[in-house]
Each structure stands twice: as C-alpha cells, then as structure tokens.
Structure 1
Amino acid sequence: MKEFRVSVLVTFYNQEKYVDRTLQSIINQKTDFGVKIIVGDDGSTDGTCLKVREWIDKFPDQIELYVMDRNPGKQISGFRASRNRLKLLDYVETEYFIFLDGDDYYCYNYKLQKQVEILDDVANKDCIACCHNTDMLYEDGRRVTVTNAKIKERKYGPKEYWQKLYFHTDTLLTRRCVIEKIDKRLLENNFNDNLITFCFLQQGNLYYIPESWTIYFQTGDGIWTSGKEVVNHIRNMFLYDLCNKINPKMKKETDFRFASTWMELLRIRRTINPEDLGLFNVEAIDKKMDNSLKWINYRDIKFSSKLALCLKAVWKSKRKILLHIISDIYGVTLKRFLYERQK
C-alpha cells in the first residue's frame, strides 16, 4: 500500500446515478502515492450511500463515508453543502486535499500526479494550491471550457486573481496547512465555491495549468443554477460581506469583483421580500453582514438608508466602468492598471 498523500473530498446529495462515474475517475488516477477518498453525504434519501458502500467493499482502506443527519423543517441547500464540506476537513490527514462535487469527475488520469509534482517543487513553495482549467458538460452533450484559453500557465497572486479571474474550486489541490486558518464559525453556512478559493488565497499564490482535467457537469440542480434570482444575488452579497471580514485589505478587489452583484440588487430591489428570506436574514444578523442585511430588508428600511444603499450600488458599478475607460485611454490592460495603482 502506497502512502496516502492526497485526500479527495467528495460531496454527495441524492446523486446515486453519478456515484460510479465520479469515484471511478478518482480510482483511475495514476500516481506514485496513495489517494484517500473521503465521502461526505448530505443525508441522501435515494441509493447514494448504498452505492458508496459498494465501493467501500471494494476499497475498504481507501474510501471513507460520513453521513450528515437531516433535521425536519425548512433548510437551505447551500448552508448544508457548506457544513458538509467543512466537516470533511476534520478528516484530512494527508499532505494535500481537494474537493469534488458528486456529479463532477476527472477526465485526465495523471491529474493528481501532475499537481502534486508542481506543489512539491521547491520553486513553488509560495503556492498554497495548484489548479487547472475545467470543462462544463451539459446534458445535451455540449462541452464548454470554463476559463479563458488566453490565461497562461503561471502563478497568480491573491489580488490579481480576485480582480478578474475564476478557476473552478474543484480543481484546487491545496496544502493541508490552510485548514487550521479557516474560521469555521464565520463560514459555517457559506463555505462554497468562490469563498473557498478566497480563503485559500489568504495563505499563498495559485499555480494555474490551462489544460482541462475535470468535467463540471451541468444538471441545473446546483446551488446557483437551481436558485431564484433574488436568492442568488443575496448569496453573492453574503460573499461580499464575508470577504471583507476575512481580509478588509482586499476591499478594492472585492468591490471590483462584486460590482455586478450590487447593480443586480439595485435593479431588483423592489422585488425583494424579506418574508421569503427569513433564514438568510437570521444568518446575516448572526454573522453581522450589514450590507446583506440592508438588501434583505430593503422594503422596510428608512428612506435615507435606501438612498445611501442605492447610491453605493451606483458608485461601485460606475467605478468599475471608469477603471475600464482609464485603462483603455492609457493603452494598458485593466489588470495591469490596477496592479500598478497598488504598488
């Protein structure tokens, strides 16, 4: 038995039909080290757990399963998914780990080997994670690459990434040392997608590889794709508030990244009904997310507060547009322009 160096943290919820494909893609990995598979099931009511246990029977030393209880009453899927991911971090004992959603899978058998070699290289000791491109696969067979092909293989720092880039979270092979730095109480209900990457970025750079080595399956059942418009934008405002709590020194970059969220909430402000967002309101109060709280309760706040919030949204959007114009005038890319301003 080879020594385990990587843990793949797989999250499932009622995804019985994808279990075999996902786990087989991990088992197929060609490595000179062992790969641990730690499965977190979010209380599935179909045959997902039964399927996983069939795999455990085949690989008892390699696969573990942890099942979350489901309490009665209304629950928010994104909150539960976050808790599932955070719980899996408690079981990581290997040098590196990586998340994988239950309906996604690996399409390159040397993916983990290549990523470990990059992070093992002393020249990349400043990198907290190694990531790569991914392809979205739709149920009709369409396949679309997520990250622009012009993004080159190299290291990307926190500010540069957060200004304009996106690498799918399930591609990040990450050093275990980040786990102890995560504020699990603050992030308990929002440790999803972009916020995961932002947390990891606080500990170092990302090494990016442009090849697509994973498939991001589009079923329409994801946290974002299955959500209502108002809920989705409130979720993003949660991320905005939380990112500013995690690292207020990156507020400029966070403002830039979430400018469209501010404008979308401004656009739909009259459709926001606080009665429909009760659990989100509780979360915003608990985590002291002031901007989110104001948007959730926009209907009921004072006129002066409404005016201030709307002006804030307009300013954040116009500021982003202004920076684009300035960069065009000076003949430089926006990314370079922002970077030069921060030196």
Structure 2
Amino acid sequence: MHNLPLVTVICLCYNHEKFVIEALTSITNQTYKNIEIIVADDASNDSSVQKIKEWHKNYPHTALIINETNLGNTKTFNKALKLSNGDFIIDLAADDVLFPNCIEKQISTFLNAKTERLAIVYGNAEIISEDNTHLDYYYKVDNDKKAITKPASGDIYKAILSQSSMICSISSMIKKEVLIELNGYDENLSYEDLDIWIRTSRNYNFEFIDSVLIKKRELANSLGNMFYKKLNTRTKKINRSTYLVIRKAIVLNQTKEENKALLKRLHFEMEKAYRTLDLLLFLRYIPLELKLRFS
C-alpha cells in the first residue's frame, strides 16, 4: 500500500455537529488506506469543534484547522490545501458520507486510465435525508445501480458550459498538481464547483466512474436549495458568484461554438436572476450576452 499514491481528504465542517463523526468515520473505514485527513472547521457555533477534538484523540496524526472567524468554504479549503501532502485531493463536506470503496475506485480509475491529461474522476451519489433515509440518486440508475444516461467523460469543456452534462462534484477526486496550477479555489466566490470544473476542463480531461461512491445529504439550507429563493441575501451572493464565473469563462473561450454553449448557461442564469427578483444581476448579464453573440 505504501507504493500507492497518497490521497488527502479535506473534510470541511460548518455547524455539522450531527453528521461530522459519521463523515470522518467514512474516511477511516476506506478499503484504500494510504490516506491523509485534514479536518477544517469554519468557526462553527454548535458543538462541531468539541466533537472533532474528541474524535481527534483517537486519530492524533490528523491535521486540524479551527477557524476563529467564518471564512467560507473557498478560503477554508485553500488553507487546508496548503497543508496537504497527497497526490490527489477529495473535498468532503462534513455532512456527506463516503462509501467504503470510494477512494479505491477513484484511484484505480486514475492509475488505469487511458485518457491523457486526466485531472478529475467522479461518480454517482446517493441522495439521503437528514436522518439517512434514501431519497434519490444524483444520476438516475437501473436495477444494477448503473447510470441510465452516462454523464460526460473526456474533453467536457463545452458540456459544462452549456449544462448538457452535469458533474457530481461531491463524488470527485482531483489531481493536486492541477489544483495548484489553478491556484486552488477562487476565494472571491461563495461556492467553488462550477468555477473549478470550467477552469480544469479547459485544458484537462474528466472521467466518469459508473458507481455510487458517496452519500450526499440533502438539508434545508444546502447550497442546491438556495438558488431560487426570492430576496434572499445568501441566494444573491451565490448567484452573483455564478455571474463572476461566467465572466471568467468568456475569457477562456476560444471558439464561437464555445460562446454558443456558454450562452445557454447565461440565459439560464438570467432567468434565475429574474425569478429571484435580482434585477440588477439580470441587467449585468445583458452586456455579457452581447459580447458572446458578437465576438
């Protein structure tokens, strides 16, 4: 096992007192054992820190980051990334749960890949409730739990721009050298996945693993439930981060076909801004649309 690559799992916690021990246990129970764990608490105001410190007594070699003030996911993740020693990185939210063979399958995919410049592998996720009740799968599955419609692999830059294929971010593993090349997460954003997928896929390939690798917990305040709330401060912050991502993607685009793909996402985001009554954001998209149409 010592000849296999080191994997760093960065477990980000914010007010996850009910779930953080289950998340950490899912890391220590992996069939793949060459793992480094970094736990980062972003100034939780519940008992998360106490639970983490109690767990840490049994795993003293685990690195701990305890923020005194809330910095947000992107900044907290980058702090942990600077401490990491692994060749591969997993960003695990402290309310999600890895299946025992998750990392083994991800590493096997990397080591046996025929795809050149492979930077990210990702799989399917089981969606669960707060009390661990099964709700759904991220990608619909058949009786063998295989994805009915396979999401994209290879060069998926245009697919990500246009949303023609969705990436299950929580089930992913990324090469650390790629993250370092990209300077980690963009700390100006309130969420990271769309930006990191676009920037990575510009020059690197992705590969889908047709297995359920992780349990994703669906909570009332989960990111996915915040995109359409009207006159909501967090919703505005999230959707305005997407605006910044689209501005960055315009600079990365090289062809009219890529501009056309990005226009699809831009129209989707304009509709979202309209539905959430963020009219200023809606107006900000108009010059971007003109640029994409006529450049």
Question: What TM-score comes out, normalization by structure 1 length?
Answer: 0.70
Post-superposition offset of 1:70: 1.2
Give the Cα separation in 1 of the matches to 2:105 and 2:120: 12
Call closer, same or farther: CA 1:157–1:207 in 2, change over 3 Å.
Answer: same
Post-superposition offset of 1:217: 0.3
Call closer, same or farther: CA 1:47–1:118 in 2, change over 3 Å.
Answer: same
| 1:92 aligns to 2:78 (yes or no) | no
Aligned to 2:266: 258
Find the partner of 1:126 among 117, 124, 145.
117
Post-superposition offset of 1:226: 4.3
Provide the secondary structure at the position in 2 that maps to 1:198.
helix
Provide the secondary structure at the position in 1 that maps to 2:207.
strand
Aligned partner of 1:16: which letter? E
Call closer, same or farther: CA 1:36–1:186 in 2, change over 3 Å.
Answer: closer
Higher normalized helix content (fraction of residues): 1
Call closer, same or farther: CA 1:153–1:255 in 2, change over 3 Å.
Answer: closer
Aligned partner of 1:179: which letter? L
| 1:233 aligns to 2:239 (yes or no) | yes
Counterpart mapping for 1:38-57 below 5 A = 38-57=38-57
Give the Cα separation in 2 of the matches to 1:29 and 1:187: 30
Please give the per-residue CA displacement for 1:33-63, whole angstroms capped at 9, x wherever unaligned: 41111111111122211211222211222x2
Give the Cα separation in 2 of the matches to 1:183 and 1:97: 14
Give the Cα separation in 2 of the matches to 1:185 and 1:109: 27
| 1:136 aligns to 2:136 (yes or no) | no
Counterpart mapping for 1:146-185 below 5 A = 146-148=138-140, 149-152=147-150, 155-162=153-160, 163=162, 164-183=164-183
Post-superposition offset of 1:104: 0.7
Counterpart mapping for 1:294-313 below 5 A = 295=281, 309=286, 312=289
Please give the per-residue CA displacement for 1:296-324, whole angstroms capped at 9, x wherever unaligned: 7x5xxxxxxx9x939949x99xx9xxxxx
Q: Which runs of 5+ in 1 are unaligned?
A: 72-78, 273-293, 299-305, 320-343
Alignment check: 8 A CA contact 1:154 1:209 kept: no
Alignment check: 8 A CA contact 1:147 1:166 kept: no
Aligned partner of 1:70: which letter? T
Call closer, same or farther: CA 1:266–1:179 in 2, change over 3 Å.
Answer: same
Post-superposition offset of 1:210: 2.3
Counterpart mapping for 1:5-44 below 5 A = 5-31=6-32, 33-44=33-44
Two-structure CA RMSD over aligned residues (Å): 3.1
Counterpart mapping for 1:266-285 below 5 A = 266-267=274-275, 272=279
Alignment check: 8 A CA contact 1:43 1:67 kept: yes
Aligned partner of 1:259: which letter? H
Provide the secondary structure at the position in 2 that maps to 1:21.
helix
Please give the per-residue CA displacement for 1:7-33, whole angstroms capped at 9, x wherever unaligned: 0111101111111110111111001x4
Provide the secondary structure at the position in 1 that maps to 2:223.
coil
Task: For CA contacts below 8 A with separation 6 or more, give which structure has more relative contact order.
Answer: 2
Give the Cα separation in 1 of the matches to 2:208 and 2:217: 21
Aligned partner of 1:251: which letter? N
Alignment check: 8 A CA contact 2:7 2:86 kept: yes
Please give the per-residue CA displacement for 1:271-301, whole angstroms capped at 9, x wherever unaligned: 64xxxxxxxxxxxxxxxxxxxxx527x5xxx
Q: Rg bigger for which structure?
A: 1
Please give the per-residue CA displacement for 1:85-140, whole angstroms capped at 9, x wherever unaligned: 2222212211111101110111x211111111111125234211111011221247
Give the Cα separation in 2 of the matches to 1:40 and 1:190: 17
Call closer, same or farther: CA 1:156–1:259 in 2, change over 3 Å.
Answer: farther
Give the Cα separation in 2 of the matches to 1:117 and 1:209: 10
Provide the secondary structure at the position in 2 that maps to 1:147.
coil
Question: What TM-score comes out, normalization by structure 2 length?
Answer: 0.80
Post-superposition offset of 1:255: 2.1
Give the Cα separation in 1 of the matches to 2:82 and 2:191: 14
Give the Cα separation in 2 of the matches to 1:268 and 1:122: 43
Provide the secondary structure at the position in 1 that maps to 2:40.
strand
Give the Cα separation in 2 of the matches to 1:311 and 1:248: 13
Aligned to 2:143: none
Call closer, same or farther: CA 1:252–1:28 in 2, change over 3 Å.
Answer: same
Give the Cα separation in 2 of the matches to 1:185 and 1:117: 25
Call closer, same or farther: CA 1:102–1:92 in 2, change over 3 Å.
Answer: same
